[in-house]
Structure 1
Amino acid sequence: MMKLAFSHVSLAFVLIVALANTGLFERVAVDLSYEHYAEQRVASLPPFLAMPCNCLVNVAYVILGLYWLSWPRAAGEAARSRYVRQVFALMALFYAPVQWTRLASLRRAPAVLDQWLTLPIFAWVLVWIHYVERLRSPERSGTRRRASFAGFAASLEAVSVLSYGLALLHERGFDAALVFHVALALHSAVRVQRAAGDSRTLRYLLLAALNCGGFVALKLLDHWLADRFWFFRRFTGHFWSKVCDVLQFHFSFRFLTTLTRHAEVSRQRE
């Protein structure tokens, strides 16, 4: 399943990178200066470390992705469950160099990618929840189940990728698409928690939601915090928002893998 997951993620990634490097998104509102960030640039360091904290925090995404890609407790995991987990882990791995390149180069294409890739990542949460709900549904023919899941996953991800087109229509188009993705992911997570969760998955869900809120709020308050509190002048709000993003990823993995295990065990007992 690793090869299949890698081929699907890398194919979509290459397509999005190619489109981002055309002139299609020249009118999209993205920030292309160091003034956008509260962390002061260190002129003596090379561009890939120009803002040390905001650059190096991307290593955490790599560690997260590698950990969940080779999850130590994957023994006995169903092949399709392994696939949905590995796709999500690969998304974290592919996202890290995009963010790092954006900071190092301040070019439009990486800035567009930094926004764009966020949408299919949130959409994959919906795909995984759909998979958990299918595990809990009455048995159907294996071929039909595989075709149906693949079609749903491909369709949802395609719609998610295309939704970035809203950024071409309005200055706040990306924000609108992102809010919709986040709200839909949270709604679906609450729904599956109520149907199949327990106290442990509820804890993971609350921690993921809390860090999602921190991810948004700390990024928006980046300069405000740095202007008022000395602690946020190097370890800025933007830096801590990325820490929250990594934790959001991690607790989403915890939530979804635990629910998947519950659904697999329940299905085996039927």
Structure 2
Amino acid sequence: MKKYRHEYKYISPEYILQMQQTRLASVMELDGNTGDAGCYAIRSIYFDDMYNTCFSENENGTDPREKFRIRIYNCSKSRISLELKQKVNGMCLKTSCPVPLETLEQIMAGSVPDFSAETPYLLKKLICQMNFRMLRPVEIVAYERVPFIYRDGNVRVTFDRNLRSSSNIQDFFDENAPFRSVFPDGTNMMEVKFDELLPDFINEVCQCGQLQWSSFSKYYVCRKFDLHGIRSVFPGA
């Protein structure tokens, strides 16, 4: 059964994140999906309507709220996932299902795909909202992630670097596509996620006076820069 999770985001100078990453490596395990590189690349297509409702709900702190995204890893077509991220009472719930490449290609081309009885419920929900709410793919969000895990309490601490975005949805799989950088130089993110309990020793390692807590999602900060050309939510901007 899926659980609602705590999720905290911190914006920080890179030299602080390097220190935090070294400290966490001594008490947490590097996620095995990173392989020899020690990290993996994430790209997500986010959806919004003509009124930018998802963007506005994040800006206004609306609770509950939800948003859809389609995610790939290392620009590969082998694993394509649709994710619905919901926030209720400050807690996050993520549900997901696979997306056929043909369906994604239809979406990227500006079409609304059909569905059948075999289509996963979550994908049906997206398609219905594309029909009735006019949801459309509006932003690609990309970054590189170094993830650490601690199995007790399902704790996950990630370091996300080189956050960048593009509104050209056709570039989703293109490794060499141009993207705009979103953070000021030398600024990146750390995220802390857990179920009921964050062990004290991990909490202590994560404490640092120069980490700045952020309530905004990556989609929000990328879309804000795309819509307004400003980076006012970031330190030093």
TM-score range, shorter chain: under 0.3
TM-score (ref. length: structure 2): 0.28
Higher RCO (CA 8 Å, separation ≥ 6 residues):
2
> Higher strand proportion, which one?
2
> Higher helix proportion, which one?
1
